[in-house]
Amino acid sequence: MKTPTRPIHLACALTLSLIGLSATVQAETLPVAGGAVSTSLTGTVTVVNVEQRMLTIKTPEGRFEVLRVPAEVKRLNEIKIGNTLTITETELLLVDLQKGADVGEPSVSSESVIVRDPGAKPAGMMIDSLTVTGIVTALDKKNASVTIQGPDEHITLKVEDPSVLDSVAVGDGVSASYMRAISGEVTF
């Protein structure tokens, strides 16, 4: 049975540093909402194809998973058949409210970081993050929604907890950060 190819990044410590809009003495950052989801995949390496940058692992349930390994993984040639590979993917969303006179301009920024573990076996983490900042341009407490001017357009969002809008005013800044971290570790 052929399994779908999955992208992986073998790149060990997750350092989360999410900052909303540039804070100054006149601005205050308040966390509004956040959430994180993690999934793991563990299996025994059954095939290593360095030229095609592919690995196949067999999970404890007997399922075979084919993994595409990106070029950022530098120690693929050190992974051997019989090694155990564990991959963990964490997705995080954090929304901050920036109050005060210096909330900044709407913007988008992204960053990719690779953290390599210099241990005996390949291990490490790849962290990709995207932060979008905007300015609150309208509030609709009756319908529990807020309109934000982003870098390219106005976006109207429904709010799950309408009481959050009690602390928001037109002109406040909002920062939404999304982070995806994929870590991998090979063990004997």
pLDDT tens across 14-44, in order?
222 222 222 223 345 555 567 789 999 999 9
Res 101: pLDDT: 61
Q: pLDDT at position 161, please?
A: 75
What average pLDDT score do residues 90-102 get?
77
pLDDT the model gives residue 53: 95
Which of 12-16, 74-78, 99-103 is predicted least confidently?
12-16
Confidence of residue 95 (pLDDT cuts 50, 70, 90): confident
What mean pLDDT comes out for the span 86-114?
83
> What does the pLDDT look like over 135-163, one tens digit per residue?
989 988 888 888 888 888 888 877 777 78
Q: What is the mean pLDDT of residues 112-140?
A: 88
Q: What pLDDT sits at residue 73? A: 87
Give the DSSP letter string of the chain: ----EEE-------------SPP-TTEEEEEEEEEEEEEEEEEEEEEEETTTTEEEEE-TTS-EEEEE--TT---GGG--TT-EEEEEEEEEEEEEEEEES-----EEEEEEEEEE--SSS-EEEEEEEEEEEEEEEEEETTTTEEEEE-SSSEEEEE-SSGGGGGG--TT-EEEEEEEEEEEEEEE-
SS3 assignment, position 78: helix
Query: Hey, where are the domains in the chain?
Result: 5-187
Please state, rounded to an integer, the average pLDDT across all residues of the chain: 79
